């Protein structure tokens, strides 16, 4: 879609997802990855194994389908479900146990 410079707009269809090279078994739809900001959607269609994840930047997520239990190396687990929003600091190792299908909107900055 055409837009004003610096404005990013997207519409997600079934064909607009690509395999995420950073998190095996997941797919992403990227909205923006520039100027220190990265934002998009992730979807997970099967929950074959827990996912290891350590964000390089602060990450904020909004669960829009499914649920997840997140384990932290240095603290209690966190349960997130439909509509929940959470924010994680950079460098925190996590293990995600996802119930599928799962979708999240995420922002890193």
Displacement of CA 14 from its chain's centroid (Å): 17
> What's the confidence (pLDDT) of residue 21?
87
pLDDT along the chain (109 residues), means of 10: 74 82 89 93 89 95 97 94 97 95 96
Cβ atoms 102, 44 nearer than 8 A: yes
Decide which of 3.30.70.2740, 2.60.120.10, 3.40.50.300, 3.10.20.30 is the CATH code for 19-108: 2.60.120.10
Domain ranges in the chain? 19-108
pTM given for the model: 0.86
75-80 vs 37-44, strand pairing mode: unpaired
CA 70, CA 51: separation in Å to the nearest integer? Answer: 9
> What's the confidence (pLDDT) of residue 95?
96
> What's the confidence (pLDDT) of residue 57?
95
């Amino acid at each position: 879609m055409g837009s004003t410079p610096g404005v990013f707009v997207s519409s997600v269809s079934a064909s607009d997802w690509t395999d995420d090279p950073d998190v095996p078994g997941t797919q992403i739809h990227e909205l923006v990855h520039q100027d220190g900001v990265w934002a998009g959607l992730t979807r997970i269609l099967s929950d074959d194994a827990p996912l290891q994840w350590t964000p390089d930047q602060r990450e904020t997520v909004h669960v829009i389908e499914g649920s997840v239990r997140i384990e932290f190396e240095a603290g209690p687990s966190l349960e997130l479900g439909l509509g929940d929003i959470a924010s994680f600091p950079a460098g925190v190792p996590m293990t995600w146990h996802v119930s599928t299908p799962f979708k999240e909107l995420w922002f890193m900055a």
